[in-house]
Amino acid sequence: MDTMFDEPQPEFQAKGPRAWIRRHGFGITITTLLVMLTFVVFWHRIVYTVRSGQEAVLWKRLSGTQIDLIYKEGTHLIFPWDQLFIYDLRIQTTDYSVPVLSTDGLEIMVEVTVRYHPESKTVPQLHKEVGPEYAERIVFPEVVTAVREVIGRYRPEQLYTLRTDDTQRQIAQRAANQARERYVAIDDVLIRRLGLPEMVQQAIQRKLNQEQEALEYEYRIAKERREAQRKDIEADGIVAFQKKVASSITPQLLQWKGVEATLELSKSTNAKMVIVGGKDGLPLILNTPSGPGQ
């Protein structure tokens, strides 16, 4: 027997992605807004840009510094609870003023310029063992130690005329050898100025002036000696020439020269008398009257 009322039938439920989106649209919208808001708020903690000449190290909150991972140039995405540390591998310069005690106990102020950079491919080790302040922790102490070790060997007057090329090379080698063990390369250490005390500078300047005056005096003495030697040699040459000429003059030569002179005089229009066969065989020349009444 049929009942008066049929049992209620369940409503038809649509299936498919669109139906699911319609049913959960509000939740999806809220979730999307939260994700976008989180992305905007933590943008600087999520998106990192590693520029030219740089390398980056990832520090994870759960596992620490990633030693075997280096982020090269480009844009990188990380979780906001992690952090990326960027290191500049290009050559950097820093000026330092280092007080140094000389062998005499005088304080000398040495001003230097240091060129350095982190070693490539060792940035994770540098970050874990030293940190971003590696210039203050590694470069400065090693340069100060090297400058004091090398410059401290000299006296102030030696520093005044010191060849900076050799000194700079010694300082750079000493500092570079120590910094390399801590993943930092020191390319060069340039000495810009050696600041000596004013009194020491004046004393050294006076000493140098006196040395220059002494050298000038010695030069003048040597010059006069060379001039005297030159005059002695010149006099010896004149005497030797005179002796040679005297030894070459003979009576026959004198007679021949006398005859030549007589012939030249005979060609003159002036009145004269030439007597051949005079004393010593040389002709005699007598002046005759040149006109009436003479």
State residue 279's pLDDT score. 55
Instruction: Name the β-bridge partners of 55.
Output: 87
State residue 124's pLDDT score. 95
pLDDT at 194 over 80: yes
Mean pLDDT for 169-180 is 93
Report the alpha-carbon distance of residue 219 to residue 227 in Å, rounded.
12
- Encoded amino acid at 23, one letter: R
pLDDT at 44 over 70: yes
pLDDT in tens, 206-256: 777 777 778 887 888 888 888 888 888 888 778 777 777 667 666 666 666
pLDDT at 10 over 90: no
pLDDT at 62 over 70: yes
pLDDT at 294 over 50: no
**Alpha-carbon Rg for the chain in angstroms:** 53
State residue 267's pLDDT score. 67
pLDDT in tens, 138-151: 999 999 999 999 99
* Residue 207: CB atoms within 10 Å: 12
| Residue boundaries of the structural domains of the chain | 17-87, 92-196, 206-248, 251-263+270-287
Q: 39-43, 107-111, 192-196, 229-233: which has the minimum mean pLDDT?
A: 39-43
pLDDT in tens, 71-118: 999 999 888 889 999 999 999 999 999 998 888 777 888 999 999 999
Residue 72 neighbours by CB under 8 Å, 6+ apart = 50, 55
Domain 92-196: which topology?
A: Tetrahydropterin Synthase; Chain A (3.30.479)
- Encoded amino acid at 86, one letter: I
State residue 4's pLDDT score. 46
Q: What is the dihedral of CA 70, 76, 81, 86, to 10 degrees?
A: 50
Mean pLDDT for 26-32 is 75
pLDDT at 162 over 90: no
Reported as a pLDDT band with limits 50, 70 and 90, residue 280 is low
More confident residue, 174 or 238: 174
State residue 12's pLDDT score. 46
